[in-house]
Structure 1
Amino acid sequence: MSKPLAVQLYSARDQIAEDRDAVLRRLAGIGFGAVEPFQPLNDPAGFRKVADDLGLTVCAAHAADLVQGVEPAKVFDALGTLGTDQAIVPGGIPRAEFATADGVKRVADRLNGLAEQARARGISLGYHNHEHELEYLIDGRHALDVLADALAPEVFLEVDTYWAAVGGADVPALLRRHADRVRLLHVKDGPAVVGEHNVVVGSGSVPVPEYLAAAPDAWRVIEFDRCATDVLDALEASYRYVASLPR
């Protein structure tokens, strides 16, 4: 069975703050079959009930709390309530750590330690990139490549294809290099310039089909960091485009 298209709920964070359940209903009505929450500690039981009622799978959850001082067990409990066994660290680690080999080793040690705690709870840990992990080069290699070499085998990657492109990576080559680690892709479009708004997937400068073809088995998660138009309408148009592409 193919994985249903997912949406990172951070895309509609302002709308969710006003009426979470209405947003989830809209997303399910668009056709999304999976969601990726970004605040797992925020009413996980209530979220799970609404998601279940709408037939939405929680494919994974962003869990920045894991590196922001929250007791990991509390986060893992919330993930269990949400019904996912995939926790993703999406940020919260100082950018400067990726500028040196020693810094990357510290990041890897931290993630590996969290992965060990997660594994004891039946949860897998992943890491989500932004642009800086690709911009920083260590002995001519992207810091993300150096990090991947230092991660325990069970730590997976959620590659944000847009930010990887902004950081200067050859995204298809990056995905193929780490095919054994890449479980999820963030799919977005735009001018690939820091600070600019994202646009409907398929209408910007990003070669989305090429990126998706390089990681055909990864879960496709549509996301907007910033949107100059109605984000729910933009998500609907993005869904239609990505759904039309071959698996």
Structure 2
Amino acid sequence: MTKPISVQLFTVRKALTADREAVLGRIAEIGYRWVEPYDPLADPKGFRRLADDLGLGVSGTHAYALLSMEPPAVFDAIASIGSELVIVPGGIAHEEFTTRDGLARTADLLNGLAEQAGRLGMRIGYHNHWWEIQPRIDGRHAIEVLADLLAPEVFLEIDTYWAAVGGADVPALLGRLGDRVLALHVKDGPVVEGEPHTAVGRGAMPVPEILAAAPDAWRVVELDECETDIFAALADSHAYLTSLERS
């Protein structure tokens, strides 16, 4: 069954800081029923109460803090917001993705976090940017070599846009990674590093083909930067993805 559509709250980070209740309310009004926080340490219990009041579930959460704080405190906050999927969204030196030794160290780090998370009923995942895609080792993207070194319980959240910027044929990459991929960041734009993103369906990304390549993954809309009104772009993205479900 196709997973529901979620939204990464980094998309609305500035507005969220100013008025969390109003922003989450607008997201719910658009039709999103799931969200992906980017900072689970920001008032996790208050966030959970508000999300419950608005009928919003948590599809997963990013957790940079796992790389800078003692993991138990981070996992406590994640438990409060009600997420089982915990994603490390970068924070590892880019150079580690250029050699097999670096990838082995990265896998050891993620596998160690996964062992701790597993004791709490959580799973650890990793989210890519372009620097895990561009390096090739024996003809394969670095993220593919990393996947071979990860414990079976460690999943990937593939940022489809940054994978394309990094030079990947994204549907083909997803096909090779298979069920290791539990979530997708679905975004659109000109596929040029540094250029603003567009509403999903308004750019150059082959979105239908990407979704077809990972039909069981969470679809998490994210726009890092956008020149148009961000809530209008989120609404257009939701409408487009919903239309694909009906076609």
Same fold, TM exceeding 0.5?
yes
What are the superposed Cα offsets for residues 184-212 of structure 1, whole Å, 9 maximum, x if unpaired? Answer: 11000001111000001101011101100
Shift of 1:4: 2.2
Partner of 2:235: 236
Give distance in 2, aligned partners of 1:140 and 1:181.
20
| SS at structure 1 position matched to 2:77 | helix
Partner of 1:225: 224
> Where does 1:97-112 land on structure 2 (aligned, <5 Å)?
97-112=96-111
Say whether the 8 Å CA contact 2:2–2:215 is kept in structure 1: no
Say whether the 8 Å CA contact 2:2–2:217 is kept in structure 1: no
What are the superposed Cα offsets for residues 52-75 of structure 1, whole Å, 9 maximum, x if unpaired? Answer: 0111010000001111x2111111
| SS at structure 2 position matched to 1:179 | helix
Q: Once superposed, what is the RMSD of the aligned Cα atoms?
A: 1.0
Partner of 1:154: 153
Q: TM-score, normalised by structure 1?
A: 0.98
> Which blocks of at least 5 consecutive residues in structure 1 are unaligned?
none
1:24 and 2:47 aligned: no
> Where does 1:121-136 land on structure 2 (aligned, <5 Å)?
121-136=120-135
> Which blocks of at least 5 consecutive residues in structure 2 are unaligned?
none
Give distance in 1, aligned partners of 2:207 and 2:154.
25
Give distance in 2, aligned partners of 1:78 and 1:186.
23
Give distance in 2, aligned partners of 1:190 and 1:14.
21
Shift of 1:246: 2.5
CA change 1:187–1:46 in 2 (3 A) is same
Partner of 1:115: 114
Shift of 1:19: 0.4
Q: TM-score, normalised by structure 2?
A: 0.98
Partner of 2:140: 141
* Identical aligned residues as a percent: 61
Give distance in 2, aligned partners of 1:21 and 1:93.
32
Give distance in 1, aligned partners of 2:218 and 2:129.
18
What are the superposed Cα offsets for residues 75-115 of structure 1, whole Å, 9 maximum, x if unpaired? Answer: 11111100111100001101111011111110000000000
Moved over 2 A (4+): 1-4
Partner of 2:48: 48
Partner of 2:193: 194
Give distance in 2, aligned partners of 1:152 and 1:190.
33
